[in-house]
């Protein structure tokens, strides 16, 4: 039986509810993010801080389409199967409007294929494999980070100048390392006919037998080495190689060793003179980077890593696409993403219509040691648009729509 007290209590509850959630209030736009946090913490902990800073800035400025944004984040365990399951959960259970993220290339490729099947936008933040925009590219996948081909192409001019004939290659034996190796061999051979690759050492990711690898290099007696190792594998390789003197008199190129995530742990063991791509964060003075650096340090009392830049730029890309689309309709999002320009801490980038690859650049230089710490010296910025294949080559590689 409905009594007067019951009625009044119910009315009061409705009033209270209306105060908390006023009529017309809109729920936040959910962006589904997945990454290999437990497997690659050195890069992805700063990455998460970067995207959280971007979310905070966007929401403080009023959000997008009159709504706040919310990133719903999940760990994919660095496993393609788990990543596809997590991606499905983000869309179906969490109500995410689209997907962003991933780190290892094999996981990125799996989620890209899932996005194609589900016909949903996917901004691949970090996977570096060239396949994700070329051989296996699809209409729904856009990649932010400078690819293995692009970063390798940035190092080729220095390699050609040295005119070394006998090269050894060391790489982690999964999609990223394989892709980097293929790009290096192709690009160097085209610029320097007659170059020889005297040994290739493919190491299990995270499980390098540094002693055996370094011994194989010593036996091959190369003039120069190209490596795409990173993280703990890189540290073990550096330590073992220096102890055995394998790097003396040998020019070494390493694809990612200038990134703070991988450079900082080397400290005084940082090998002097290696050619690398990386991120000399303390020396960049552009307005866009200074703004990002000041905000990041104010929030976290720490300096950014490259992951921080990637996380930040990923969310800013997502927001720019939503704003341009004026909708969360997938077809409108895809149309908006194609050719969009986004301001990042590294400057303006474009997601190219021809292959959905962003023109994000990278810094190229050499490693050095100062005050017991590794740093990048003699660095220069290379714009991503200047190290991409021709449109004709891309059309040959990328599947027809």
86 and 37 within one domain: yes
pLDDT level of residue 274 (50, 70, 90 thresholds)? very high
Give the pLDDT score at 365: 98
How many folded domains does the chain comprise? 2
Give the pLDDT score at 399: 86
Mean pLDDT of 329-356: 98
245 and 191 within one domain: yes
88 and 77 within one domain: yes
Say whether pLDDT at 25 is over 80.
no
**Mutual angle of helices 330-337 and 306-325, in 10-degree steps:** 120
352 and 338 within one domain: yes
Is 86 among the domain residues? yes
Give the pLDDT score at 401: 64
Summarize pLDDT for 214-245 with one digit per residue, the tens: 999 999 999 999 999 999 999 999 999 999 99
Tell me, letter by letter, the H, E, C secondary structure of the chain: CCCHHHHHHHHHHHHHHHHHCCCCCCCCEEEEEEECCCCCHHHHHHHHHHHHHHHHHHHHCCCECCECEEEEEEECCCCHHHHHHHHHHHHHCCCCCEEEECCCHHHHHHHHHHHHHHCCCEEECCCCCHHHCCCCCCCCEEECCCCHHHHHHHHHHHHHHHCCCEEEEEEECCHHHHHHHHHHHHHHHHHCCCCEEEEEEEECCCCCCHHHHHHHHHHHCCCEEEECCCHHHHHHHHHHHHHHCCCCCCEEEEEEEECHHHHHHHHHHCCCCCEEEECCHHHCCCHHHHHHHHHHHHHHCCCCCHHHHHHHHHHHHHHHHHHHHCCCCHHHHHHHHCCCEEEECCEEEEECCCCCEECCCEEEEEEEEECCEEEEEEEEEECHHHHCCCHHHHHHHCCCC
Is 8 among the domain residues? no
Is 237 among the domain residues? yes
Say whether pLDDT at 148 is over 90.
yes
Summarize pLDDT for 134-143 with one digit per residue, the tens: 999 999 999 9
Summarize pLDDT for 68-113 with one digit per residue, the tens: 999 999 999 999 999 999 999 999 999 999 999 999 999 999 999 9
Mean pLDDT of 349-358: 98
- Domain extent for 82: 29-147+284-361
Query: 1 or 38: whose pLDDT is higher?
Result: 38
Give the pLDDT score at 125: 98
153 and 255 within one domain: yes
Say whether pLDDT at 172 is over 50.
yes
Is 277 among the domain residues? yes
Is 53 among the domain residues? yes
Question: pTM here?
Answer: 0.91
Say whether pLDDT at 19 is over 60.
no
pLDDT level of residue 12 (50, 70, 90 thresholds)? very low
Mean pLDDT of 126-138: 96
295 and 166 within one domain: no
Percent of the chain with pLDDT over 70: 94
374 and 354 within one domain: no
Closest CA to 71 of 89, 88, 96, 49: 96
Say whether pLDDT at 8 is over 90.
no
312 and 244 within one domain: no
pLDDT level of residue 400 (50, 70, 90 thresholds)? confident
Mean pLDDT of 306-326: 98
pLDDT level of residue 10 (50, 70, 90 thresholds)? very low
pLDDT level of residue 266 (50, 70, 90 thresholds)? very high
323 and 338 within one domain: yes
187 and 164 within one domain: yes
Give the pLDDT score at 120: 98
Is 11 among the domain residues? no
Say whether pLDDT at 262 is over 80.
yes
Q: What is the rounded average pLDDT for all residues in the chain? A: 93
127 and 177 within one domain: no
Summarize pLDDT for 46-75 with one digit per residue, the tens: 999 999 999 999 999 999 999 999 999 999
Say whether pLDDT at 292 is over 80.
yes
Is 397 among the domain residues? no
323 and 212 within one domain: no
Give the pLDDT score at 158: 97
What CATH number should be reported for the domain holding residue 294? 3.40.50.2300
Is 21 among the domain residues? no
């Amino acid at each position: 039986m409905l009594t007067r007290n019951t009625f009044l209590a119910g009315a009061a509850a409705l009033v209270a509810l209306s105060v908390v959630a006023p009529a017309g209030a809109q729920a936040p736009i959910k962006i589904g993010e997945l990454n290999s946090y437990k497997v690659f913490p050195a890069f992805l902990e700063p990455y998460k801080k970067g995207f959280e800073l971007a979310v905070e800035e966007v929401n403080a400025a009023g959000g997008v389409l009159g709504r706040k944004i919310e990133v719903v984040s999940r760990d994919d365990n660095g496993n393609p199967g788990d990543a596809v399951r997590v991606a499905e959960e983000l869309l179906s259970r969490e109500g995410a409007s689209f997907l962003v993220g991933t780190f290892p290339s094999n996981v990125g490729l799996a989620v890209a294929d899932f996005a194609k099947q589900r016909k949903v936008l996917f901004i691949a933040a970090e996977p570096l494999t060239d396949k994700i925009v070329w051989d296996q590219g699809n209409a729904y996948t856009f990649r932010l980070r400078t690819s293995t081909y692009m970063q390798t192409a940035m190092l080729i001019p220095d390699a050609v100048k040295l005119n070394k004939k006998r090269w050894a290659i060391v790489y982690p034996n999964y999609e990223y390392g394989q892709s980097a190796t293929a790009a290096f061999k192709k690009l160097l051979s085209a610029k320097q006919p007659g170059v020889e690759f005297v040994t290739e050492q493919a190491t299990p990711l995270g499980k390098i037998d540094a002693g055996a690898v370094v011994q194989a290099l010593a036996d091959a007696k190369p003039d120069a080495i190209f490596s795409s190792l990173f993280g703990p594998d890189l540290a073990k390789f550096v330590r073992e190689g220096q102890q055995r003197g394998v790097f003396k008199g040998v020019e070494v190129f390493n694809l990612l060793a200038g990134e703070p995530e991988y450079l900082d742990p080397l400290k005084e063991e940082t090998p002097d003179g290696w050619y690398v791509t990386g991120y000399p964060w303390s020396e960049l003075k552009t307005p866009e980077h200074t703004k990002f650096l000041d905000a990041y340090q104010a929030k976290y009392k720490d300096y950014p890593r490259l992951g921080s830049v990637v996380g930040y730029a990923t969310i800013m890309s997502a927001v720019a696409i939503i704003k341009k689309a004026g909708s969360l309709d997938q077809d409108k999002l895809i149309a908006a993403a194609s050719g969009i320009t986004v301001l990042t801490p590294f400057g303006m980038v474009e997601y190219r219509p021809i292959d959905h690859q962003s023109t994000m650049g990278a810094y190229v230089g050499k490693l050095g040691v100062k005050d017991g710490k590794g740093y990048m010296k003699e660095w220069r910025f290379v714009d991503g648009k200047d190290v991409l294949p021709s449109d004709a080559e891309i059309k040959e590689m990328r599947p027809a729509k």
